[in-house]
Amino acid sequence: MNNVSKQRLFDAVTWQLSQFPKPDMLAAKVNGSWKTYDTATVLNIVNRFSAGLLQLGVGGNDFTPEGADKIAIISNNRPEWVFTDLAVQQTGAILVPIYPTTNPAELQFILENAAVKYMFVSSRELLDKVLSIRDAVPSLKQVYTFDEIAGAPHWSVISEQATPALLEQVETIKAGIDPHHVATFIYTSGTTGTPKGVMLTHNNIVSNVMMSKASFPFEDAPQPCKVLSFLPLNHIFEKCVTYIYLYSGISIYYAESIDTLSANLKEIGPDGFTTVPRLLEKVFEKIMATGSGLTGIKRSLFFWAVSLAGKYDNNISGGPWYNLQLAIANKLIFSKWREALGNNIRFIVTGGAACQEKLLRIFNAARIPVYEGYGPTENSPVISVNRKSPGGMKFGTVGPPIDGIEVRLEEDGEICVKGPSVMKGYYKRPDLTAETVIDGWLHTGDVGVWVDNKFLKITDRKKELFKTSGGKYVAPQPIENKLKESPFIEQIMVVGSEQKFTGALIVPAFTYLKYWMNQQNIPFTTNEDAIKNPKVLEMYGEVVNKYNQFFNHVEQIKKFELLTEEWSIAGGEMTPKLSLKRKVVLEKYKAVIDKIYAV
């Protein structure tokens, strides 16, 4: 596309309409059936929505981050989310998307910090959450809903206020919106303190969209091509790929929920989707649990195929005999995996956290192409991604940097990036902005190395490195990712800051553990009893020792404690993108950790 620097995010719709109008630009399940929206209809809905917002007094001529109106949205993924995003942009206002799982205290902080004027919510539950803190946010004039909720104004009443004169005004305002105008504030999840509002301009996101689109590549799709969207749209990863899809002519179908993913995948047979490693782990755990329940030759074939796939390397041929065996495994075993994903997957892109190398090998060997990428919110977000092109992918890395940005490593290994997608700054936090963006270089806080002088490998978060009492540094992520290769380990967090040795908190994979205990004729009653069983503890000791050999002495886990409950968003231990909140876990399980280091 020409003149990328002049594009605004909302231009994606008119671009699609002119190049490859889709009968199903957006789609969602309504009353048990898929409802689709064609490109022309979306443009009409968005323009009328913008006109109605103008009637409410949203937008105008002040396009500064401080002066522009702020409109918040807290909703599940659905077409109305995108309608709101596009409509708000076209008025010159700034969209403030918020995770549906955000707690009331954090929600109140964000709404007050941004001085939100109007808000859109999807459901009764989210409406009640907003109403519970509404009185503490004097700037908030009204809350509209996407679902029909008694006593609450529906979002459609705004569009009904559109007039020809207002629609004409929308076009005038759109023409005057500079690509460097801030389009959105993305607030961090606040794992290390107060949430920070990352200011991203149209140009920040559009440039990242186009660089990612060219680098991956996402080909333009005038022919039918569709994706399933389920990662939260308020996260910059899903928001960015949404605009990649819009600019590429790829139809977007929204999953009903995480619980309906399996059914939705089979229903629409998508060409691809984006995900986070934790969800891939869950899929794999479910597959392995199914395999463990098989008997006889079927069970033997299943585990033979998985073992074979674990040795797969896309850059090095396993030889004729290996390739023949893999072809047989694909026909007998992995074909069923592909069917469960809709039998049409051409790409899965994972990001947000480090993905187990073992999973990448197995899924790619099974002809389910998974490409790992990397990038923080502050870079809109993509810095690097593995490619579909020959030589463009290496397991265990996050791929080469995308075309159009510069990447360098500091002496301590910190990854720094420079280019058009680097954020404008943190809202109302010039101090933090100055610490994070220095001479145009974004300091990500992530530590990495170059592999083969081409591929970027993330080794850890700078803030997550800890030092033992002996003065040795330990990077927990590589250790955790390695141990999670064990089918017996659901979750793990390495500990040991200022301690004599490295320890770990381990959440067992109880489904697999229960199967093992039955095979060993050990009765399984409850999770609590299982983790106290001497034979179970001995087995986990053997698992840990097996993986300790991959690490140097100071990194090896000397003692561990098993936990009964999985860490979750609801429990407060996981962020909405399913990353571990280490500080929360350290505080919540202080007594358990003290037990590890008791003399």
pLDDT, tens digit, 9 for 90 and up, residues 235-250: 999 999 999 999 999 9
Is 459 contained in some domain? Answer: no
Is 282 contained in some domain? Answer: no
Is 172 contained in some domain? Answer: yes
Comparing C-alpha atoms, which of 62, 14, 60, 59 is closest to residue 39? 14
Say whether pLDDT at 192 is over 90. Answer: no
- End position of a domain, from candidates 214, 249, 272: 272
Three-class SS of residue 449? strand
Per-residue confidence (pLDDT) for residue 125, from 0 to 100: 96
Q: Which two tokens stand for residue 269?
A: 């047979």
Number of domains making up the chain: 2
* CB contact at 8 A, 512 and 287: no
The pLDDT mean for the chain works out to 94
Instruction: Write the single-letter amino acid at 406.
Output: E
Per-residue confidence (pLDDT) for residue 540, from 0 to 100: 97
- End position of a domain, from candidates 221, 249, 272: 272
Other Cβ atoms less than 10 A from the Cβ of 93: the count is 25
* CB contact at 8 A, 131 and 123: no
Per-residue confidence (pLDDT) for residue 1, from 0 to 100: 55
Residue 297 per-residue DSSP state: H
Question: Would you call 56 exposed, middle or buried from its count of C-beta atoms within 10 A (0-12, 13-18, 19+)?
Answer: middle
Say whether pLDDT at 189 is over 70. Answer: no
Tell me the average pLDDT across 210-218: 89
Tell me the average pLDDT across 63-72: 94
Comparing C-alpha atoms, which of 376, 369, 373 is closest to residue 385? 373
As a whole number of angstroms, the distance between CA 244 and CA 211 comes to 10
Three-class SS of residue 36? strand
Q: What is the CATH number of the domain that holds 220?
A: 3.40.50.12780
- Of the ranges 410-414, 473-477, 576-580, which is most confident? 410-414
* Range 150-176 burial, b when 16+ CB lie within 10 A, else e: eeeeebbebbeebeeebeebbeebbee
As a whole number of angstroms, the distance between CA 26 and CA 249 comes to 11
Say whether pLDDT at 475 is over 80. Answer: yes
As a whole number of angstroms, the distance between CA 286 and CA 295 comes to 17
Tell me the average pLDDT across 74-94: 98
Say whether pLDDT at 191 is over 60. Answer: no
Sheet strands side by side (includes 251-254): 33-37, 26-30, 251-254, 226-229, 272-275, 347-350, 370-374, 384-385
Q: Which two tokens stand for residue 403?
A: 């075309």
Output 30-33 pairs: Cβ under 8 A, ≥24 positions apart.
none
Is 363 contained in some domain? Answer: no
Q: pLDDT category, 361, cuts 50, 70, 90? A: very high
**Domain range spanning residue 503?**
465-596
Comparing C-alpha atoms, which of 222, 257, 229 is closest to residue 82? 229
Is 305 contained in some domain? Answer: no
Alpha-carbon torsion angle 186, 96, 47, 172, nearest 10: -80
Q: What would the pLDDT profile of 20-50 be if each residue is shown by its tens digit?
A: 999 999 999 999 999 999 999 999 999 999 9
- End position of a domain, from candidates 214, 243, 272: 272
Strand 370-374, strand 142-145: pairing: unpaired
206's CB contacts (< 8 A; 6+ apart) are: 4, 7, 8, 9, 179, 243
Is 16 contained in some domain? Answer: yes
Say whether pLDDT at 548 is over 80. Answer: yes
Tell me the average pLDDT across 59-71: 89
Per-residue confidence (pLDDT) for residue 375, from 0 to 100: 95
Q: pLDDT category, 60, cuts 50, 70, 90? A: confident
Comparing C-alpha atoms, which of 499, 449, 462, 504 is closest to residue 481? 504
Per-residue confidence (pLDDT) for residue 193, from 0 to 100: 62
Three-class SS of residue 301? helix
Comparing C-alpha atoms, which of 379, 367, 371 is closest to residue 415? 379
Q: What would the pLDDT profile of 519-534 be if each residue is shown by its tens digit?
A: 999 999 999 999 999 9
As a whole number of angstroms, the distance between CA 368 and CA 345 comes to 7
Which range is least confidently modeled, 213-222, 224-233, 326-335?
A: 213-222
Tell me the average pLDDT across 110-136: 97
H/E/C letters for each residue in 372-392? EEECCHHHCCCCEECCCCCCC
Residue 553 per-residue DSSP state: G
Q: Which H or E element spans position 441?
A: strand 441-451
Tokens 């995010």 appear where?
9
Tell me the average pLDDT across 385-413: 94
Say whether pLDDT at 444 is over 90. Answer: yes
Cα angle: 589, vertex 508, 282; to 5 degrees: 110
Q: What is the CATH number of the domain that holds 511?
A: 3.30.300.30
Say whether pLDDT at 439 is over 80. Answer: yes
Paired residues of 416 in beta bridges: 408, 443
pLDDT over 70, % of the chain: 98
* CB contact at 8 A, 351 and 276: yes
Q: pLDDT category, 352, cuts 50, 70, 90? A: confident
Q: What angle, 0 to 180 degrees and rounded to 10, lies between the N-to-C axes of helices 11-19 and 39-55?
A: 150
Is 365 contained in some domain? Answer: no
As a whole number of angstroms, the distance between CA 484 and CA 339 comes to 26
As a whole number of angstroms, the distance between CA 443 and CA 378 comes to 9
Tell me the average pLDDT across 323-343: 97
Q: pLDDT category, 292, cuts 50, 70, 90? A: confident
Comparing C-alpha atoms, which of 585, 401, 404 is closest to residue 507? 585
Say whether pLDDT at 560 is over 50. Answer: yes
Three-class SS of residue 60? coil
Is 350 contained in some domain? Answer: no
Q: Which H or E element spans position 439?
A: none
Paired residues of 455 in beta bridges: 451
Question: In 142-201, which residue ranges form alpha helices assigned H by DSSP?
Answer: 156-159, 164-176
